Amino acid sequence: MRRAKPGKPKIRPDRSLSSSHTIRPVQMKDTAPQGNDLSGQPLLRIGQFTDTFLPVVDGVGRVAAAYANTLCEMGHQVTVVTPMYDTGYRGGYPFELVDFQGVSVPAARQYKTGEATFDQHYLQRMRMIPLDIVHSHSPFMAGSEAIRLAFQRDIPLIGTFHSKYYDDFLKVTKSVPLARVGVKFVVDFYNRCDEVWAVGERTADVLRGYGYRGEIQVMPNGVVIREAREDAVRTVRERFSIRDDSPLLLFVGQMNWKKNIQRILEASAVLRSRGVRHQLLLAGQGPDEKEIRRKIASLNLQDTARPIGHITDTALLDALYKVSDLFVFPSLYDNAPMVVREAAVMKTPSVMVRGSSGSEIIRSGFNGYLCEDTAESLAETIFSALSDPESLRENGENASRTIPVSWREIMETAVKRYRALIELNRAGKLPRKQLRLI
């Protein structure tokens, strides 16, 4: 790598800079991936930016990991930029992981945040990595770094909208005015992107409701399509004492009230009061785990509902989906839950709340079930589904055929958009970007 000669930086005159930022152009060696893809196009150098990543397995982090892994399988050169997590041994990653120093978020200790430009080691590493395009899955600190690099290198920036950030801000601050300020910060990020993606039509409507007025491309989440291993099925039956004499209901996700877990527990209590035998497993970890356990005890569900912790083994998680009769996911928060798609791969249909963002893939009674957001409606929907085993089986079969889309198929579409933006940028047809201070 050669540093630019001292003197006035050669920066395009139509790009405005804050006085607090100094951009030093860097000449990098052309280390483009060798060869072409199946369409005959040159392989790309892609930056994936995210504020959550392995080993934290929330939805956004899992999506970013899936993008990185699948794009690498297609031959592209991928660099993941994220705050520093305890990822352990990194030799098995097919992508380059360049992380910057981070600190735990006070209200959610499992998450990290940090300012990339304060980390000199990170900056030195990134100067050595050429990129054709940057794609951020977060509007926060990783998103700000994506803006900086897109500006500095004059390359396109894509931002994907994943989450209902207003709900998160409101829970943490307990202040509507502060939550609205947070949403303005989110919209400001997407206003600076060359293209904005959302994981579903209803998710796009959420971003528009926040005040974003630009065009939004829908780029749904994919899933890894595979079979459950028989040895893993035997293991989960033994480890979690799954009985054959009563149906199994499953929830997978953060142990967080925002996932509407209280509704699941209340519905379970309604079923039990009606004499409907069932088992309920809650897989995951999160800030409300202790309160959830107390709620189980207060509803006298200790013999029915069990939190089983965070399942890190993919084979065991697949097996849990496989042995479950019904996947119960009444979250009003999630936009495009991967867990519903994973359950569908294993031919397990889901119960979701009618009108929720994530439920747009469900046709009630065909590939899953929809209920109202009440314990009684959820309990009645579960009871009705379990009462007709043949229809339940057909719903599972239909779910496996209509809901999952492979990550490879999704990434083929994404790469087409990447290439189109790169060409537009080379032709000088993308709008000017502006940095933001944070």
Q: What CATH number does the domain containing 356 carry?
A: 3.40.50.2000
Of 208-212, 268-272, 285-289, 394-398, the one with minimum mean pLDDT is 285-289
Q: Name the residue range of residue 344's domain.
A: 230-402
Indicate whether 1 belongs to any domain: no
Indicate whether 385 belongs to any domain: yes
Indicate whether 68 belongs to any domain: yes
Contact 194, 160 (CB under 8 A): no
Residue type, 359: S
Same domain for 186 and 300, yes or no, is: no
Query: What is the chain's mean pLDDT, rounded?
Result: 89
pLDDT > 50? residue 18: no
Residue type, 210: Y
Task: Give tens-digit pLDDT for 109-155.
Answer: 666 778 899 999 999 999 999 999 999 999 999 999 999 999 999 99
What SS3 class is residue 359? helix
Same domain for 350 and 211, yes or no, is: no
Same domain for 398 and 412, yes or no, is: no
- 133 forms bridges with which residues in the sheet? 46
Indicate whether 73 belongs to any domain: yes
Q: Give the model's confidence band at 77: pLDDT under 50 very low, under 70 low, under 90 confident, else very high.
A: very high
Task: Give tens-digit pLDDT for 41-62.
Answer: 889 999 999 998 877 667 898 9
What's the pLDDT score for residue 12? Answer: 40
pLDDT > 90? residue 20: no
Same domain for 253 and 276, yes or no, is: yes
The pair of three-digit structure tokens given for residue 45, joined into one six-digit string:
């150098």
Same domain for 181 and 235, yes or no, is: no
pLDDT > 60? residue 9: no
The pair of three-digit structure tokens given for residue 83, joined into one six-digit string:
């705050």
What's the pLDDT score for residue 89? Answer: 63
Same domain for 176 and 102, yes or no, is: yes
Q: Give the total number of structural domains in the chain.
A: 2
Helix-then-strand count for the chain, H and E: 14, 17
Indicate whether 291 belongs to any domain: yes
C-alpha 27: how far from chain center: 34
pLDDT > 90? residue 91: no
Same domain for 74 and 87, yes or no, is: yes
The pair of three-digit structure tokens given for residue 149, joined into one six-digit string:
């690099």
Indicate whether 431 belongs to any domain: no
Same domain for 322 and 271, yes or no, is: yes
What's the pLDDT score for residue 13? Answer: 39
The pair of three-digit structure tokens given for residue 263, joined into one six-digit string:
């509704």
- What's the CA gap between 41 and 341, in Å, rounded? 31
Residue keyed to tokens 């409300």: 288
In sequence order, which ranges of 195-353 are alpha helices (DSSP H)?
201-210, 230-239, 261-273, 289-298, 314-323, 338-345
Q: What are phi and psi of 356, to 5 degrees?
A: -70, 155
